[in-house]
Each structure stands twice: as C-alpha cells, then as structure tokens.
Structure 1
Amino acid sequence: MKLDQKDIQILSLLQNNARLSNKELAAALDIAPSTCHERLKKLTSEGFFKAFNAELNLKKLGVNVEVLIAVRLKRHEREIVNSFIKKIKSINGIIRFYHLAGDTDFMIHVGVKDSDSLRSFIMDELAGFHNIDHIESSMIYHSECVHNLKINT
C-alpha cells in the first residue's frame, strides 16, 4: 500500500494521541468521517498499527525508580537467547526489553518501588540466570516519548 499525505497525517496524529475519535481525525484532516473511517480501516488491515497502548503513570502505580539494565550473555546460541527472552517475559517489573547487537545483548527497562526492590530484582530475578556474563544498571532521571518519527512515503 502506498501512503498518501492524508494517510501519513492519520498515522502522525494517532502516534501522538491514539484516543482521537474518527470524528476528530476527520476534522483535523478536513475530510468526511466516512472517508476517514475507510482510510483507518485500510491502514489497520495493512498492518501499519502494531497496537494501541496507554502510557501509564508509573508513579501512581508505586513505581518510583526506573532503570535500564544492560545484560551481556556468556554465549549467544539461539537456545540460550530464547531461554533468556522467555525468562524476562515472565518477570514482574519489566516495562520493555530490547535484544541488541553490540557489546550489550539486552537492554531491559525496569520499574521498581525503591533501590532495595531494584537490588532484589537484580540479585533474585536476573542473576539466577546462569548464562549471564555481565549486568550493569543505570537509573533513569527522566523519560518521555516524543513521537517525532518522520513518516515517509
């Protein structure tokens, strides 16, 4: 599917606020709501949206400390990597993780109550995985999703 300017505008608007109604989208694009709805259905069916998510206020949920944890594995066989991914998907407190190329194999975004909870998370949850070579954590002072992705045609 080739995107035109209206499709790109729909993607950009929803990237910044996925709660916009069809009516609000149509008004912003200066098109009929029925036309906007058809475009949105086509973009959805063509797979341009992975998901519609809510960004939660972690402080309200008792998460006072956010940390990025860099993990390097001892070996990189598919079975070990898949086993590690399965493990981190089952651990509470993980917000998001990335499997990377380079010196760091995984970057794990974690939310915890306090520094004691972080220590327990690392010592009890991560360090028990016997194929970890190195763990390094960095506290996040501020994070923000800016949604400045340039969408090209």
Structure 2
Amino acid sequence: MKLDAKDAKILNLVQLNNRLSKSEIGDEIGLTHSGVSRRLQRLHDRSVIFADVALVAPEAVGYPVRMNVSCSIERDRLDTYDRFVAALQADPMVVNADAVMGKSDFTFTVIARDMDAYLNLIERYRGAFPTLSSVTGLAVLRSVKRGLKIPVEPTSVFRPANR
C-alpha cells in the first residue's frame, strides 16, 4: 500500500496519541473529519494499523522485574517449534517475542513480580521443552527508551502486518 503525505501524518500523530479526535487530526493536517475517518478506516482495513492500545508501565502495576531472554530450541519433533511459539504467545508474562536468526532461535521479554517468578517461568519452559538450550537472561536495570513509534514517511510501500 502506498502512503501519501496525509496518511504518513495521520500515522505519526496517532502513534503519539491515539486518543486524538478525528477533528483534531484533521485540523492538524488539513482534512475534514470524514476524510480522516475514511483514511483511518483504510489503514485499519489494510492492517497498517493493527491495534489501538494503551502502553502500561509494568513496574506501576506490580511487575518490577524485566528480563530480555534469548534461547535456542532443538526441533526434536516436528511440532516443537510451533508448540514453543504457541507457549510464548499464550504466556501473559511474555510481553514481546521474536523468532530470530543467528546464535539464538528466539528473543523475548519477560515481566515478573520478582526474580523467583522469572526463574519459575524459565524452569517451566525447560520442563515443557527439554531441548531448550542456550537460555540467556539479561536483567533490565532501567529503560533508556520506551515506545513503539515507527517513523512513517509518504510514498512507502507496505505489506499487511503479520499479527
């Protein structure tokens, strides 16, 4: 999908504040309420915008421990990889997960109430996936940058998001 300058401006605005009204967005970029509405609908329909969310500070709701984890998993059975992916997707303590290329097969971020809860999660995964190896956890000391804003420019061609 090609994005024009107005689409790019809309995307940049709603990434910073998705509670802006369509009129506020329109006033900012020179479109009517209905013009903004049509564009936002198209961006949703084409999965350029795939979620409208509020970002919550984990430590503010009782999860002061954050760990960035990398690991490898041997595919002893054909379904091992798919089962591991499903386990990561279903685990509420895993807030981000990616299949990666390199020394590891996966990287993921875990939030926990304390280190014991994190260690219990890792042991649970090791029990469920005996071929899980090279598990490395890096404790986050402090956030240097938080957010999910993607820089958007006009005339870029995008594929629909994988959800």
Note whether the superposition's TM-score is higher than 0.5.
yes
Contact 1:80–1:131 under 8 Å retained in 2 = no
Listed one character per residue, the Cα deviations across residues 113-141 of structure 1 (whole Å, up to 9, x for unaligned) are: 11222222212x22111121221100112
**Structure 2 match to 1:10:** 10
Query: CA shift at 1:57, angstroms?
Result: 2.1
Return closer, same or farther for 1:2/1:76 CA change in 2, 3 Å cut-off.
farther
Contact 2:65 2:112 in 1 (8 A): yes
SS of equivalent to 2:139: strand
* TM-score (norm. length: structure 2): 0.83
Residue 149 (1) aligns with residue 148 (2)? no
What amino acid maps onto 2:89 in structure 1? K
Match of 1:83 in 2: 83
Q: Retained in 2: the 8 A contact 1:64–1:111?
A: yes
Q: Could you tell me how far apart the structure 1 residues matched to 2:25 and 2:93 are?
A: 35
1-side partners of 2:150 and 2:50: how far apart? 17
Specify the SS of the correspondent of 1:3.
coil
1:146, distance to aligned residue in structure 2 (A): 5.6
Percent of pairs identical after alignment? 23
TM-score, length basis structure 1: 0.88
Aligned length: 152
* Structure-1 residue corresponding to 2:101: 101
When residues 44 and 5 of structure 1 are mapped into structure 2, their CA distance, relative to the original with a 3 A threshold, is same
What are the within-5 Å matches in structure 2 for residues 1-153 of structure 1?
1-75=1-75, 79-123=79-123, 125-128=124-127, 129-141=129-141, 142=143, 143-145=145-147, 147-153=149-155
> Aligned-pair distance for 1:76?
7.8
Point out where structure 1 has 5 or more consecutive residues left out of the alignment: none
Moved more, 142-151 or 114-123: 142-151
3-state SS of paired residue (2:66): strand
* Structure 2: gaps (5+ residues): 156-163
CA distance, structure 2, for counterparts of residue 44 and residue 116 of structure 1: 40
